[in-house]
Amino acid sequence: MAGTTFMHDIKIIGLFGLAGLPGLIALFKPVPMDRPGGLVRLLGLLGLVGFAGFWNPWAGALGGFGAFGLWNHPQPRFAHFAWLGLAGPTGLALGMVILISR
C-alpha cells in the first residue's frame, strides 16, 4: 500500500514541468541580445523537458526551470511568467523530501 502512495507522490512532481512551458515563448518572441541575462535565458530550453514530465517525474521537475527563459524580457506580460521558474527548485526539493522520507 505504501508503494502506491509513493508513486502517486512522485508523479505529482512531474506536473511542475507544466510551469516551465511558458519559457517556450522566448523561442517565438526572443529577448534582444543587448539585454543582460543571456545565460539565464538559456534555461528556457528546459521548458521542452517539461513535456517529459508526463512520463518521467524528475524530468518534469527539471522542466520547471524553463520559465526562467523569460527573465528580463522587454514585454512585461511575458516577463511576469519568469516567476513560474521557481517551480523547478521547488519540484526538485519536494522530490528529495519524498525520497528521504521513504
34-44 confidence digits (pLDDT tens):
888 778 878 88
Residues belonging to the chain: 102
**Contacts for 19 with CB less than 8 Å, ≥ 6 apart:** 50, 63, 64, 66, 67, 84, 85, 87, 88
CB 37 within 8 A of CB 15: no
- Residues of the domain holding 26: 2-101
Give the total number of structural domains in the chain: 1
Q: Tell me: the pLDDT tens digits for 58-92?
A: 888 888 888 888 888 889 998 899 898 888 888 88
